[in-house]
Structure 1
Amino acid sequence: LEVLTLCCHPALTPESQVTLALRTVLGLTTKQIAAVHIIPSSTAGQRISRAKAAIDLHRRRFPPPASPKERLPALMHALYLMYTAGHSRADGKQLLDAAVTTEAIRLARLLYKGFRDEPETAGLLALMLLSEARRPARITVRGDLIPLRDQDRSLWDREVIAEGIDLIEHALPTGPVGAYQLQAAISAVHAEAPGWEDTDWEQIAELYAMLAHVAPSPAVTLNYAVAVSETQGPVSALSMVEPLLDDPRMSGSHRLHAVRAPLLEACGRREEALEAFRIASRLCTNIPEQRFLNSQITRVQADAIE
């Protein structure tokens, strides 16, 4: 963590601080960094090169922070993206990388231990724990993806869930509510539901509305749309997703089309849904996710024949 703190050089923008930290200290590849930032690999590579050049101008001196909390936002963001990279691999034959998520959680625990008075460090650790608790139910024996709707919740690690919920319940009342606390709160609502149909979608939609205000992003909009589809129906959700087709940040991401496809299907627009699934499959470079998307194409085609 000390090296990571020094790597968040004050001469760099916060974005470049995080990118360089992910590459040089946390060991993520350029492709992994591009995936978690939802940018092309070439753009991620350019950011890394520019960051290194800026540090060279300062004779590779890495001044310590003026205060312990000065670089805390960059540290938390780097660990958050590290966990994200392991939770859903950018490519390859495996859906997740447990070694990466385990290390991200270890570092997040250390960060929380050092900054217990900062609610967002508790929020970050809680978010990771609540996500990691679902890991045993996310894949089949052969490594295929199981979406949240279909997961066997008896496989979720209840001890880890209890720790995550305890962290977020103690953090929320203590200060300003940030993005990590809100995401952890959303995960907690999912964790407490016996099944998909029992989920408090109204509460999740409210939390996503708050998150969209605090930390707006295409990824937040996509997840928010899923909650809206459960509370207001697919038409309302689709109206949130469609503008993202013109967002250059989403041009190479399969996730936009993977979310859009079932919404189109629910609206009765089967051919458009099929095309969205096909686009998602072509853009996806993670084999288990791609297999799942291809299974959805086969399912929709079979439904059309019937």
Structure 2
Amino acid sequence: MRRQDSWRTGAGHGEDTARCCDAEDLLDSLSEVVFRTDAEGRWTYLNRAWTTLTGFDIATSLRARFLDYVHPDEVEYTATLFMSAVAGGADHCHHETRYRTRDGSYRRVQIRATVVRDTAGAVVGNIGTILDVTAARRDEKTIGEHAALLELVSAGVPAGELPVGVAVYDADLRLWRGSPVIDEIAGVPQLVGDRLAQLTERLSPAGSHQRSLDGEWGMIAAALRTHHTQVGDLDLRGEHGLARSMRITVIPWLRGGEEMLALVFTDISDLRRAEREARTLCQRAERGRAWLAASAEITT
């Protein structure tokens, strides 16, 4: 069954219906969420990207208020922006906020909405897009922090005083300098002159949406080719299987005219574990709600 779409007109005519179906298929192919709400802020249309972003089914989300998905700390702020746009006669609203997902976590999103008015000027709803910018905001913060860390490296701060795992490699991708934290993370000492390949062969992408560290299109190659910092999550294999998860920043760096490469390692094993536990709890809650609903149907 296809979703009810308040944008459709003339659905009783074959040609119009075909055009509407083609338009809906096109909207479903987009990676960003496309939405429409009524005057009360309740969803009346959502494309397939909504489920990809939040995990919520479209059918169960329709008619819910968009504010129901906003982080509690930002509901008042979001509502104020929307009402200011409406009351002020503006035709659009653009802001960032956090949206709730089915597993209980929140994603930072960028919303661009256009207010829809009737011929009398009354608000009848709004249409717009929702773009997931979680990774972009995370990467901006990470890159800024790690750029400051490299300043410490270039200033000659003793390696033992560096607070996180930092490894700097020369143009031949041999270790030039590293902090003791790297040894702890890797599980074996990383010696000056060691090849980066000795470390990368034990790292693999943390998920299907993550890139590898090495390879022709990996983060190292991309950083050296584009001269831009790359960030990704990888799993580090220990001697007895998966040991821990890492967020790795790959920074191309010039030192005295020589092309260097810095890797900053942040252990995110606890974060990944917490995310898995949250998903498990949400799945149990979903099964519990489904069981209660089925029991209620049987008793009635």
Is the TM value for this pair above 0.5? Answer: no
Q: Which structure has greater helix proportion?
A: 1
TM-score (norm. length: structure 2):
0.25
Q: Which structure has greater strand proportion?
A: 2
Higher relative contact order (CA 8 A, sep 6+): 1
Q: Which has the larger radius of gyration?
A: 2
